[in-house]
Amino acid sequence: MGGLTGTVHIHGRALRVRVSEAAARVLAGRAGGTVAELELYFSCLVRKRVRFLPAGERDRAELPAGPAGLRVRLRPVAGRACAVEEAADGQPLEALPVARPEAFVPRWLHVDAGPGGLAGTFGFTEG
């Protein structure tokens, strides 16, 4: 399996990042860079997902670049109510203040690309 691997540090913890060759090609074609936002959603359920966003000037200044220039940030959020519909895209979310954000940093992030664009998964156990 080809691709690029590297490590970024979030809140002082190492996150191993693997970017497939296909994802590296997509990332190379994006002007200004890309941020992989690792969203942890807490409500009556827990959801984790990776969102790929254009990197703004502040992102480029504050977030270190990983493989293929990918920048990574952690985003813990909470829903306003406990309802499955709340977890759907487009529902209002609130930043979740956490006393120890390093405890929520996953161990790995895998990024790939397919017909639908970039896709990512992350986990908290070795993977």
Straight-line distance from the first to the last Cα atom of the chain, in angstroms, rounded to the nearest whole number? 15
Give alpha helix (H) positions in the chain. Answer: 21-28, 57-62
Question: Measured between alpha carbons, how far is 46 from 40 in angstroms, rounded to an integer?
Answer: 7
User: What pLDDT was estimated at residue 94?
Assistant: 79
Query: d(Cα 12, Cα 5) in Å, to the nearest integer?
Result: 19
What integer pLDDT is reported at residue 7 of this predicted model? 96
> Which stretches of the chain score pLDDT less than 70?
1, 81-91, 127
Among candidate residues 17, 106, 36, the one with its CA nearest the CA of residue 7: 17
What is the pairing mode between strands 46-54 and 34-42? antiparallel
Q: Show the domain range for 10.
A: 4-123
Distance CA 110, CA 18 (A): 5
Task: Give the Cα separation of 23 and 69 in Å (integer).
Answer: 11
Grouping H, G, I as helix, E, B as strand and the rest as coil, residue 11 is: coil
Predicted confidence at residue 68, as pLDDT, reads 94
Number of domains into which the chain is organized: 1
Q: How much is the pLDDT for 11?
A: 92
Residue 112, token pair as written in the block:
């790939």
Q: Taking the CA of residue 33 as centre, how many other CA atoms within 13 Å lie in the half-sphere pointing to its CB?
A: 21
